Structure formats: structure tokens, C-alpha cells
Amino acid sequence: MYKFIKTSVVGLLLLLTTACERELLETIPNDRLSVELFWKTEQDAILATNAVYTYLEGTGLFSWDGMTDIGHTNQSFATEALIEKGQTDALNSKVLTEWTNAYKGIRAANSFFKNVDQIQAQNPNTISRLKGEVKVLRAYLYLKLVSLYGEVPLITDEISLEESRQVKRVPAAQIWDFIAAELTEAAPLLPVTQEQKGRITKGAALGLKARALLYAGRYQGAAEAAKEVMDLNAYSLHPAYQKLFSYEAENNGEILLDKQFIKDTYNNNIFATMAPYSQQASTNTFVPTKNLVDAYTMNNGKEITDPASGFDPKNPYLNRDPRLKYSIYVPGEKLPDGKIFNSVPGSGTADAVGYSYITTTTGFTVKKYINAEDLAQPANGGINIILMRYAEVLLTYAEAKIELNQLDKTVLDAINLVRQRADVAMPPITDLSSQAALRKIVRRERLVELAFEGLRYFDLRRWRIAEEVMPGKVYGMTYVENGTLKTVEAPAFERSFNKNRDYLWPIPQKERDLNPGLTQNPNW
């Protein structure tokens, strides 16, 4: 019996050793989650959804306005500066990064839809809601792709590496159809409000649908989607535009969609990259231009070029639309450290034009999102970045109705709600007689209300006016020197825009090397 037991034990040990060796050879990769281990619980579905949220626009939001007539890439060697100057090509790193990041997010969304139905959910409504959220996120990414590149591959399922090298571009109209359908399907799956702040709601789905249809030139659908948001009665304009981009105004009733950040955990570096140089040596990555500052009318509603406006070129920031000083640091404004912003050349401050190659080249810097709470740790910001707010929805509604020539009181009401926010209080628009005049008004309103919120770049392209407003030198502040008015000019920099090429970006060359079946956009 002892001999049998001894033999059995030895055999068992050999069996276990063999089994262990076999298991060592059949390990699960430790750098990713296997589908055999994941997609078991509702929490898995939530985590997978959260992963797609990370592909929402972050601090890159500022680059879009920074490459237009109202903004400027402050360092001429930056990638975005090449796009401004019309000197980019299919090898440009931003052109590639925007493409690859969008498709990474789309792949994450496609993986969610392929696997989420494996979960035996205790609460099916949770899974349904998450599906709505991911549909909106995927539509958001396709909206950026079609706006930048036109025809792009439409991928709605997980594909293999080999399959990815064979995908083809599809007509832009098909992409717009897909975006509209996704958002239409998503809206009923989503609540009007979410318990967890930052998660996508019904209003975000409909608001994004309104934006997409406006960009696509489908004005009736844009007006209807915007009106659906308005009829939810879930949103209102925050009374203080001046505080709209502050910590105290986070998650206010104007915000439809934002990207949420947390200091120390999931932070951003807005202060370090966008604040005036004197504030902890910020890099002033993108700065406002004279075109933007001049677009703000006097507070009586008259343009500064109107002789009856009361504009004083020697006191150019006096009695202007309040949104000017709420959005932009101009000379005389108080800085986060308590000092006064003075960018006049030769003023001796660290913000003076010419002080260093990082100091603003226009004499202006962005004020939105620059908060004193981030002064001590400028690269450890926790301020949320707003991706869509109710003011945009109102202006979308007004613009769509104007383009349809459906000029009625609701158009004026939408525009005037934005203009007459409590701390803005601009004179109301009253004349409905001219479609052309109202088109000019609503476009200006988008410019000054939404400056440096990532929309101007796409507005110029859908309006097809980039070749009119982009080319030429970049100008900044006007100041008095020895009794004479002088205007700052960004040194050795001239913008260019080729109307026969630049309305679409090139398909990245690296992608075409991997997939020769991807055709190139015209004249690239």
C-alpha cells in the first residue's frame, strides 16, 4: 500500500508539473484584457464605454481656431503653423494624428458593439443607455473625419489587420447619412440628465446631430434637431459669460457636452500652454489676432469701422462688447497672479511682444479656461473642456432657419438670447427684412460668442470663405508710440490658402503606404 501511495503521489506530481508547464505555454497576454476575461458584467460595459470617452477632443481644441483668421500658431516652427501657411502635405504629423486618433476611437466603439451583448445584464436599461453613449461618441469621431478629409472609410465592425489594409473611402454623403442615423438612433436610448456628470445625454445627441446637419448643409434637419434640444427645456444660458470657463461654473445648465478632467488623476495642461507668458512661463501656443479683436462691436452694437460707433483707436478696448474682455487678455486686464497684463512692445514685462520667442506675437492671449486655481501647478489642470453648449445650439437653429429663408421671430429670439445674456447685454437684433444681413449677423455672433472653442476652422470651410479671410500677414494689437498708432505684425509669417486644395486635408501618406487603395484628395 505504501509503495502504491508513493507511486501515485509521484505520478500526481508529474501530472501537475506537466499541467503547469502547459499552462505556462498558454498564457493570456498581460498587456491587454482578453475577451475571455472581460465582457462579463455591467461594470465591464461601463469601463469599455469610458475608454471611448477618452477620444473626445481635449486641449487640442485650441488648435482649430489657432489655424484660422482669428487665431495664430505662436511658434512658427510648430506643425499647425505649416497648415496656416499652406505649406503642409500628406506627411504632416497633425494630419496623421487626427486620422489615427479618430480611427482608434472608432475601433474601440466597434469593439464595444461587437461584445456588449455577451453580458447578461441585471439591468438591460443600463446596456441600452451605454449603447446610446457609444453611438454618439462614434458619430462625433466620424463628424471630425468627414469634415477634415471628406470621403473616408466607413468602418462599423471590428476588422483584422489585413482587412484594414483593404478598406476604401466612401462618399462623404454616405458618412453624413451614417452620422445622422447614429445620432437619431442614440437619442431615445439616452436620458435627459445623467446621474454621473460628463456622460452623454439626449441633449448632447440631438445637439451633435444639429451641428452635423448644419455642417453638411442639411438645414431643415439642423433646425429641427436644434429645436428638439430647445424643446427639452433642460438647458439655459449661464448668466455670467465671464465665469463660463471657470471651475465654479463647471457642469452648469448651458453645457451639453464636455470632456471632464480631474487634477492629479486625469489632468490637462491648458494653463501651461495657453496662459500669458508671464504666468509661470506659459508657452502661448495659440494666440488671438487683430481680426478676432476687431470683430467685437462697440457695446452699442455698431461696428468699430462705423464713424458713429464711438470707437477710439487710442483706447481700443473701451466700451466694447463685454465678451471681448471675457474671452481675451488685452492690455489693462488683471492676470491670475494679480498683476496687470501689458503686452505693448517695449513695456518691459514678460508679456511684451518681442520679450521672448514664446511670448505672444500678437499682443493678445486667450482668457477662456485660464484660472488662478491652476497658477501653482500650470500643467496639472482639472478644468473641464466644453465641447458643446446651449449658445451654439441657439445659433445653429438661427443659422439654419436663415439659410432656409424662414425668417421669423424665432430666429431673432435665438440670436438675442445669446446677445442678451445677463453680463453681456448687447442691443437686440430687430430687423428680419434681409436674409443677407441676418446671415452676416449670425456668422459674426458665432465668431465672437464661440471664439477659441474649436469651431471657427470648420465654419470657414463649410461657408467656403477661407480663401477670402485667411491669406496674408498676421496682425495683432494696435498701440500708441510717440503719439503715433502702430500695429503689431507677426514676424516673417504669411498665411496662404489654396481654394482648389485646402478645403480638404490630404489622406495621410503613412495610411496610403499601408493601404494603396486609399485614394488621395485633389491636388495633394
Provide Rg for the chain, Cα atoms: 27
How far out from the chain centre does Cα 12 lie?
62
Q: What is the mean pLDDT of residues 396-421?
A: 98
Buried b (16+ CB within 10 A) or exposed e, 52-67: bbebbbbbebbbbbbb
User: Which pLDDT score, from 0 to 100, does residue 10 have?
Assistant: 38
The chain-wide mean pLDDT, for the chain, equals 93
C-beta of residue 290 within 8 angstroms of C-beta of residue 477:
yes
Q: What is the mean pLDDT of residues 48-72?
A: 97
DSSP characters for 238-289? -S-GGGTTSGGGTT-TTEEEEE--BTTTB-B-HHHHHS-TTTTS----EEE-
Q: What is the mean pLDDT of residues 484-500?
A: 96
pTM of this prediction? 0.92
Q: What is the mean pLDDT of residues 59-82?
A: 96
User: Which pLDDT score, from 0 to 100, does residue 158 have?
Assistant: 94
Cα gap 258→33, rounded to integer Å:
28
C-beta of residue 251 within 8 angstroms of C-beta of residue 384:
yes
- pLDDT beyond 70 at 30: no
Residue 434 is assigned to a structural domain of this protein: no
Cα gap 71→68, rounded to integer Å:
5
Confidence of residue 32 (pLDDT cuts 50, 70, 90): low
Cα gap 401→395, rounded to integer Å:
10
User: Which pLDDT score, from 0 to 100, does residue 25 have?
Assistant: 39
Confidence of residue 18 (pLDDT cuts 50, 70, 90): very low
Residue 351 is assigned to a structural domain of this protein: no
Q: Which residues constitute the domain of residue 133?
A: 36-257+443-468+498-514
User: Which pLDDT score, from 0 to 100, does residue 5 have?
Assistant: 35
Residue 524 is assigned to a structural domain of this protein: no
Residue 167 is assigned to a structural domain of this protein: yes
Residue 436 is assigned to a structural domain of this protein: no
Nearest of 78, 69, 92, 149 to residue 501 by alpha carbon: 149
Cα gap 75→297, rounded to integer Å:
29
Confidence of residue 409 (pLDDT cuts 50, 70, 90): very high
Which range has the worst mean pLDDT, 22-26, 203-207, 226-230?
22-26
Instruction: Express the helix, strand and coil content of the chain in percent, nearest 5 each.
Output: 45, 10, 45
What total of structural domains would you count in the chain? 1
- pLDDT beyond 90 at 3: no
- pLDDT beyond 90 at 282: no
User: Which pLDDT score, from 0 to 100, does residue 71 have?
Assistant: 98
- pLDDT beyond 50 at 380: yes
Q: What is the pLDDT of residues 344-373, one digit of tens each?
A: 999 999 999 999 999 999 999 999 999 999
Per-residue CA distances from 194 to 64, 129, 256 (Å): 29, 10, 11
Report helix, strand or coil for 106: helix
User: Which pLDDT score, from 0 to 100, does residue 112 have?
Assistant: 97
Residue 449 is assigned to a structural domain of this protein: yes
Residue 414 is assigned to a structural domain of this protein: no
Cα gap 274→282, rounded to integer Å:
6
Amino acid letter, 505: W
- pLDDT beyond 60 at 228: yes
- pLDDT beyond 50 at 27: no
Q: What is the mean pLDDT of residues 480-504?
A: 96
Residue 143 is assigned to a structural domain of this protein: yes
Buried b (16+ CB within 10 A) or exposed e, 347-370: bebbbbbebeeebbbbbbbbbbbb
Q: What is the mean pLDDT of residues 293-319?
A: 97
User: Which pLDDT score, from 0 to 100, does residue 35 have?
Assistant: 62
CATH number of the CATH domain containing 509? 1.25.40.390
Confidence of residue 169 (pLDDT cuts 50, 70, 90): very high
Q: What is the mean pLDDT of residues 90-102?
A: 97
Greatest extent of the chain over all pairs of C-alpha atoms, in Å: 114
- pLDDT beyond 70 at 23: no
C-beta of residue 275 within 8 angstroms of C-beta of residue 367:
no
Q: What is the mean pLDDT of residues 205-221?
A: 98
User: Which pLDDT score, from 0 to 100, does residue 463 have?
Assistant: 98
Confidence of residue 4 (pLDDT cuts 50, 70, 90): very low
Cα gap 364→361, rounded to integer Å:
8
Which is higher by pLDDT, 26 or 239?
239
